Structures are given as structure tokens and as C-alpha cells.
Amino acid sequence: MLTPGYALLGLRYLWRRFLTRGGWRWRSDGPLFLGPRLELEIGRKARVDFGRFVWIGHGTKIRCHEGVVEIGAKTVMGQECTISAYKRVRIGEQCVIADRAMFIDFDHGVVEVERPIRVQGIYTREVEVGSNVWIGYGACILRGVSVGDNSIVGTNSVVTKDVPANAVVAGVPARIVRMRDAPERLRWPNPVEPDPEAWTTLPQPE
């Protein structure tokens, strides 16, 4: 049943799609819900892809300067989240992302101490979050990190290394608190399962 609230969401979608500068640079494979005060900035050589029934909360900022941002079907992003991409940020399907979470795929150069940081350029590595991931309030997913399917990231965590599938992590920097049981039947397309033995992956607690 069409309600005034859904009608407003529909009008906001059409305005974003056809009457804004970046509206022609994003794609969706179905309806999605865009909250008020959304900042959607898409560079000329960039692209943002939304899955069907994605929900983007109030005041969220998606800045795809270059490369691509992908948000999978039925993922819900809370209010005032930030995605900033120069290469690729991918978030899988049916994730739950709390307010003020941040995803960023670049860092500033800081090696040359006699030059201002702002003129030293940036370096990039892809960020990938699997499906069915719960990310807590204010968590930060930094350059080069992969977060495995079915994992949980605690409130205000700063994730600097890969998170194995089914892990629960928390802290600054994030550490594995415990492992969840792996699902027996639940499967996701394009699974994200970082190698638990790799040096780039958080070690499991002993």
C-alpha cells in the first residue's frame, strides 16, 4: 500500500536520479531508499552501484572520487555514515551498518617530512566487506581491509587488518574477540573469506 512516507521516498529517488549532477553516474538493479541530506558525489570517471532494496540513512556521505562503490542488495546503512573511494569500496548483501561507520580506501603520504602532507599524494587499496556483516556505531574500515562474511565489527572499532569470516572483532586497533559458528546452509554470492593464515589477517585468540 502506498503511504505518504513511501511517496516521499519515491519522489526523493526520482529527484536524485534525474535532477542532480551525479544522478546519471549511479546504477541500481531495483528500488532503493535514499534518506534526506544524503551527499552523493560521483566523479566523472567513477561509478556507484546499488543493489535492490538498499537503504541509505539520513546525512550519509558517499564520495566516489574515482573507481567504484558497490553496495549489495538489502544492505541497510544508518545515519551519517561515510564512504570515500578512489579505487573500490564494496559492501556485500544484507549487511547492517550502524550510524557514523566509515569506509575509506586511501591514505595520505606522510614520508617526506619537509613537505606538507596535503601535497604528498595518496595511495590506495581496495576495501571489501562481505555479506551478512554487522558493523557497529562509529566503526572505521580502513584502506586495504577485507571483512569476511557473517562477521561482526564492534562499536568504534578501527579495522586495520583483514577479518576472517564469522569473526567478532572489537577495539582500536580491532582484535578478534571470538569466532561465531559457521553457518551450515547459508551461502552468499561472491563470498568474502580472507585467509586466516595470512599475515594480513587478524590472528585468532589463543
Cell numbers given for 200: 594480513
Q: Say which residue the cell 550510524 belongs to.
A: 99
Longest Cα–Cα distance of the chain, Å, equals 63
Which position among 37, 45, 108, 180 bears the catalytic label? 108
Report whether 142 contacts 162 (CB < 8 A): no
- As a whole number of angstroms, the distance between CA 143 and CA 160 comes to 7
User: What b-and-e string marks burial along 171-206, b requiring 16 or more CB atoms within 10 Å of the CB?
Assistant: eeebbbeeeeeeeeeeebeeebbbebeeeebbeeee
Q: Examine the residue annotation and report whether 108 is marked as an active-site residue of this protein.
A: yes
Q: 13, exposed or middle or buried, with CB in 10 Å at 0-12, 13-18, 19+?
A: middle
* Amino acid, single-letter form, for residue 156: N
Positions annotated as catalytic residues are 108
